[in-house]
Amino acid sequence: MRLSSETLSRLPESVARPGYDRAAQAAGIVHFGIGAFHRAHQAWYTDRAMAKGDRDWGIVGVSLRSANVARQLNPQDGLYTLTECSAERNRMRVVGSIQRVIVASEDPEAVIAQIAAPETRIVTFTVTEKGYCRAADGSLDPFLAHHGSIYAFLEAGLRRRRDQGLPGLTLLSCDNLALNGRQLERLMGEYLALKDADLRAWVAAECTFPCAMIDRIVPATTAADRKMVATLARLDDDGAVMTEPFSQWVIEDKFAGARPQWENVGAELVSDVAPYEAAKLRMLNGAHSALAYLGLEHGHAFVHQAVGDPAIRPLIERLMHDEAQPTIKAAPSQDLQAYADALLARFANPALQHRLIQIAMDGSQKIPQRWLETLAANQAKDKQCPAILTALAAWLRHVRGDNAAKWGPVDDPMAVRLADIWREQGMEGTPRALFGEGGLFAKTWQASEADFAALAERLARATA
């Protein structure tokens, strides 16, 4: 029997459930990119805020192309279990904040209508780095943006709101981009400059784009996970999500209108997200990517295996403590040393089964903010970053296809282009084509001759 509103009462007492009348809640949030991370993070925060008395903050999820999540959640009335996994125990609850999921490619009008609905006040995003349709230099790629992107739906929905005399919205990015709100605002402006200058002016005046930092490790759910959930919950749950006990959400307090009282359930509302964001991107995400590429090379499948490898862990510690941490101007409440120690403990959690190949996806979209910004900040102080350069060499080998035989083909929006560069430039020319003057990533970090020598030595060492 499957989880749904009708079967909710069959759950054992050990499984927590929504503490509010779901049917009485209006949908105040539209969310693009309703994958496992959103369900373990923003939807979880919103569910608990409504359990504390907030009203009318139900979520309508939008999948831009895939119908997978809609098939998982819609037959379950939007309900799913979230299991916090640790070595000590697993703790499960049913999350009730999601009301339904729209597949945009199947029903684009429903997406536009929901953005334009009077009760909608916030649109949130976890579309991953590639969902922002950026060119290599960070500007909007018009070709990508004009083909079923978030911008096309926002344009149509916001235009309808304006024409109906409705107020603007808060557009809240929850993706791993530095200053994500500013980037979304700029990219949306570039899109509207091409499409509708009057609407661009209205959006600038009526909508806000807060920055946010999000943090929770959410591995892809496996068949074994679903079997475990079915055993504990006594119901099948196609939308089950597994995560760690830790969660953090830091939000710039810059809303166009009403919002849930997320701070009552652990979120932090601040005037400046940048220090928290920098720590997350450069320390956690930077270490995660390093673990992914180095770990795959060493034959590891999971994060906890890679961080437990004595050939890898010292590099991760050096990356966080010696290379990333000194580049971050901490907020008064931040203890970066303690943050790094906590990250190592979280990475070592064997209950999560966080797959390295999942983290290795879309590396071309991730390494600028995870590694290259740290390299640039250290370069300005005439310091090299041996740990990041070692990880960067591992990424170069990964996109060359060195891991494909064991782990499958490279999953990256620039996979073909990077493979072409490797084929045309070889081991000596590829780093320069990417990180040299005029290189693909040179806008973020331009390598010195010492850096090129270090990369060449690391690439040759792995090849020998």
Reported as a single tens digit per residue, the pLDDT across 381-433 is 999 999 999 999 999 999 999 999 999 999 999 999 999 999 999 999 999 99
3-state SS track over 99-130: EEEEECCCCHHHHHHHHHCCCCCEEEECCCHH
Q: Which stretches of 298-441 are DSSP H helices? A: 303-307, 313-318, 336-347, 356-359, 363-367, 373-379, 386-400, 404-407, 415-435
Contact partners, residue 260, CB within 8 Å, separation at least 6: 28, 45, 46, 49, 50, 54, 57
**Could you tell me if 72 and 66 are in contact, meaning their C-beta atoms sit under 8 angstroms apart?**
no
Residue range 195-213: mean pLDDT, rounded? 97
Digit-coded pLDDT (tens) for 145-193: 987 899 999 999 999 999 999 999 999 999 998 899 999 999 999 999 9
Alpha-carbon gap, residue 181 to 122, rounded angstroms: 13
More confident residue, 86 or 408: 408
pLDDT tier for residue 454 given thresholds of 50, 70 and 90: very high
Look at residue 463 in the predicted model and tell me its pLDDT.
Answer: 58
Query: What angle, rounded to 10 degrees, do the helices at 415-435 and 449-463 form?
Result: 130
DSSP state of 415: H
Beta-sheet pairing, 248-252 with 212-215: antiparallel
pLDDT tier for residue 87 given thresholds of 50, 70 and 90: confident
Q: Average pLDDT of the chain?
A: 96
Digit-coded pLDDT (tens) for 217-250: 999 999 999 999 999 999 999 999 999 999 999 9
Residue 252, CA distances (Å) to 46, 272, 275 in order? 17, 6, 12
Digit-coded pLDDT (tens) for 259-310: 999 999 999 999 999 999 999 999 999 999 999 999 999 999 999 999 999 9
Look at residue 361 in the predicted model and tell me its pLDDT.
Answer: 97
Look at residue 158 in the predicted model and tell me its pLDDT.
Answer: 98
In degrees and rounded to multiples of 5, residue 92 shows phi and psi of: -120, 145
Residue 112 above 80 pLDDT? yes
Closest CA to 35 of 98, 115, 123: 98
Alpha-carbon gap, residue 133 to 138, rounded angstroms: 9
**Could you tell me if 123 and 257 are in contact, meaning their C-beta atoms sit under 8 angstroms apart?**
no
Look at residue 80 in the predicted model and tell me its pLDDT.
Answer: 98
pTM value is 0.87
Alpha-carbon gap, residue 193 to 205, rounded angstroms: 15
Alpha-carbon gap, residue 411 to 423, rounded angstroms: 18
Look at residue 133 in the predicted model and tell me its pLDDT.
Answer: 94
Which two three-digit tokens encode residue 333? Answer: 């409440």
Look at residue 310 in the predicted model and tell me its pLDDT.
Answer: 98
